[in-house]
């Protein structure tokens, strides 16, 4: 047991901070969020070519970097700080899914594509309020040529630009935990229609993805078709933990920029930072940021344990729900306080704190908010599962 970073990790994070400072300054984020892609493809290319971050979780055997979830989460935290808007988190989630459940062939095929700079994402639900197997409505119908998937997916991160989409679909007539499969779809396959949808948080592009009888071959099935509800739950948990890392970074940045502003801004002949009520609010913000940090890095460690089969799905679920519940609320609280402490300028388009606030709102709802995840923890707690 060890709860501090290795020197290597610290070095990776310093590098990340420097690189993101170059390619993801707020001005360029603001510019790219108004483009069709919703992010800057050239920054993404540099990320893949110069940093090779897309290979962090890919084993060395597959020519990846063979690093772990702690490194991944540390980088995501720094992306969150910058509101980085490229398809990194969603690609990483797909990478983790492949690492856990991919066949040898799938790993070599898809890892190669990802390492070459292709991006990936996950598409699960259309109408449901909750992200879960129950919410899967797309259907995978067996035909002579193979399975054909039809259905609509919403809330798909970077779904309009991703090269690879990991989708959930169910056997006709099935419901609940039954009949669910996970499939790796090429975005340019026939029958894939997707469009970006306008979102309140402009830094987090979402898309609608429509599959119209898209053909999939057996080698595109991840794990066992029809039996993948547990895997889907774990996949969503993984994805949630990655979101919490970005939330942590966003919360930290919100706190930092707020304190900086308060130290400068003078009212009543004093810096605002000198008002005790303001100081105490900032102390509460910091408490939440640090507590969020503790649970997010714990969850990162759990991913590592889970990847090597030392922790089970329950432990992953508990970690994910704890981290998502706490970090969602913490980020929203911190960014909300940030706007308040900025005062009038906080609600102007010109200042950045409102972008963090919207990010907090968007990531809170995505994959379930605090109340939903606390209820899930309560169920485990009362069942003696945690």
Interactions with other proteins, residue window 45-104 (CB under 8 A): 70
Site residues for other proteins, 324-353, by CB under 8 A, read 325-326, 336, 339-340, 343-344, 346-350
Q: What is the largest CA-CA distance in the chain?
A: 79
Number of C-beta neighbours around residue 231 at 10 A: 21
Task: Please state, in angstroms and rounded to a whole number, the distance separating the CA atoms of residues 269 and 71.
Answer: 45
Which residues does 194 contact at the CB level (< 8 Å), separation at least 6? 156, 159, 160, 187, 207, 208, 209, 210
Residue 103 partner contact from a second copy, other proteins, none using kind-dependent CB cut-offs of 5 to 8 Å: none
User: Which residue, 22 or 312, has its beta carbon nearer to other proteins?
Assistant: 312
Instruction: Determine, following the binding rule CB under 8 A, whether residue 280 of this chain makes contact with other proteins.
Output: yes
288 phi/psi in degrees, rounded to 5: -70, -35
Q: Which of 273, 317, 320, 360 binds other proteins (CB under 8 A)?
A: 273
CA distance 194 to 335: 32
Residue span binding other proteins (CB under 8 A) among the ranges 84-92, 96-104, 137-145, 271-279: 271-279
Helix axes 69-82, 7-23, angle to 10 degrees: 30
The β-bridge partners of 165 are: 121, 185
Burial of 355 (0-12, 13-18, 19+ CB in 10 A): buried
Considering beta carbons, is residue 192 or 377 the nearer one to other proteins?
377
Q: Which is nearer to a second copy, 58 or 285 (CB)?
A: 285
- 145-204 residues near other proteins, rule: CB under 8 A: 154-155, 197-202
Residue ranges in 10-49 that form contacts with other proteins under rule CB under 8 A = 34
Q: How far is the CB of 219 from other proteins (least distance, A)?
A: 32
Q: Return the sign of the alpha-carbon dihedral for residues 101, 44, 156, 90.
A: positive
State the binding string over 326-365 for a second copy (x if CB under 8 A, else -): ----------------------------------------
Q: Whose CA is closest to 36, among 174, 208, 160?
A: 160
| Positions 282 through 311 that interact with other proteins (CB under 8 A) | 282-284, 286-287, 290-291, 293-295, 297-298, 300-302, 304-305, 310-311
Q: How far apart are CA 88 and CA 287, in angstroms?
A: 28
337 is written with which tokens?
């306080």
Q: Which of 146, 176, 378, 385 binds other proteins (CB under 8 A)?
A: 378
Q: Closer CB to a second copy, residue 1 or residue 277?
A: 277
Q: Which does 259 bind (CB under 5 to 8 A by kind): a second copy, other proteins, none?
A: other proteins
Nearest distance, CB of residue 36 and other proteins, angstroms: 11
- Least Å distance, CB 373 to a second copy, is 20
Give 168's strand partners: 182
Residue 317: phi and psi, rounded to 5, are: -60, -45
User: Cβ closer to a second copy: 219 or 284?
Assistant: 284
- Partner whose footprint covers residue 148, from a second copy, other proteins, none (CB < 5 to 8 Å by kind): none
Residues 264-323 that bind a second copy (CB under 8 A): 275-277, 279-280
Residue 37 binding partner per list other proteins, a second copy, none, with a CB distance cut-off of 5 to 8 Å that depends on partner kind: none
State which of residues 18, 269, 316, 317 lies at the interface with other proteins (CB under 8 A): 269
| Among candidate residues 30, 325, 33, 341, the one with its CA nearest the CA of residue 205 | 33
* Cα–Cα distance for residue pair 20/47, rounded to 1 Å: 9
Interface with a second copy (CB under 8 A): 275-277, 279-280
């Amino acid at each position: 047991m060890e709860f501090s970073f290795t020197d290597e990790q610290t070095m990776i994070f310093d590098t990340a901070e420097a690189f993101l400072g170059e390619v993801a300054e707020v001005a360029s984020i603001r510019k790219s969020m108004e483009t069709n892609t919703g992010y800057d493809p050239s920054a993404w290319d540099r990320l893949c070519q110069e940093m090779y971050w897309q290979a962090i979780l890919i084993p060395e055997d597959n020519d990846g970097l063979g690093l772990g979830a702690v490194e991944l989460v540390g980088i995501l935290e720094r992306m969150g700080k910058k509101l980085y808007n490229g398809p990194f988190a969603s690609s990483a989630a797909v990478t983790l899914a492949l690492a856990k459940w991919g066949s040898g062939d799938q790993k070599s095929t898809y890892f190669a594509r990802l390492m070459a700079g292709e991006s990936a994402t996950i598409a699960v639900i259309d109408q449901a309020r909750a992200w879960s197997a129950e919410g899967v409505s797309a259907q995978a119908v067996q035909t002579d040529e193979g399975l054909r998937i039809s259905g609509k997916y919403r809330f798909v991160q970077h779904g309009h630009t991703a090269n690879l989409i990991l989708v959930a679909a169910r056997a006709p007539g099935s419901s609940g935990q039954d009949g669910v499969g996970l499939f790796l779809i090429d975005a340019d396959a026939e029958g894939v229609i997707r469009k970006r949808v306008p979102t309140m948080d402009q830094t987090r592009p979402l898309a609608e993805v429509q599959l119209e009888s898209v053909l999939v071959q057996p080698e595109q099935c991840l794990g066992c078709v029809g039996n993948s509800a547990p895997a889907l739950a774990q996949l969503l948990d993984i994805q949630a933990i990655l979101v919490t890392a970005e939330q942590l970074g966003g919360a930290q940045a919100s706190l930092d920029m707020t304190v900086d502003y308060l130290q400068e801004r003078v009212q009543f002949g004093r810096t605002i930072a000198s008002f005790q009520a303001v100081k105490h609010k900032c102390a509460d913000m910091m408490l939440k940021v640090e507590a969020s940090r503790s649970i997010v890095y714990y969850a990162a460690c759990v991913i590592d344990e889970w990847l090597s089969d030392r922790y089970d799905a329950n432990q992953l679920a508990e970690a994910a729900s704890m981290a998502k519940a706490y970090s969602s609320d913490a980020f929203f609280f911190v960014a909300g306080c940030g706007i308040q402490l900025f005062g009038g300028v906080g609600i102007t388009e010109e200042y950045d704190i409102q972008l963090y606030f919207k990010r907090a709102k968007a990531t809170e709802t995505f994959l379930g908010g605090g109340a939903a995840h606390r209820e899930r923890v309560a169920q485990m707690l009362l069942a003696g599962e945690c």
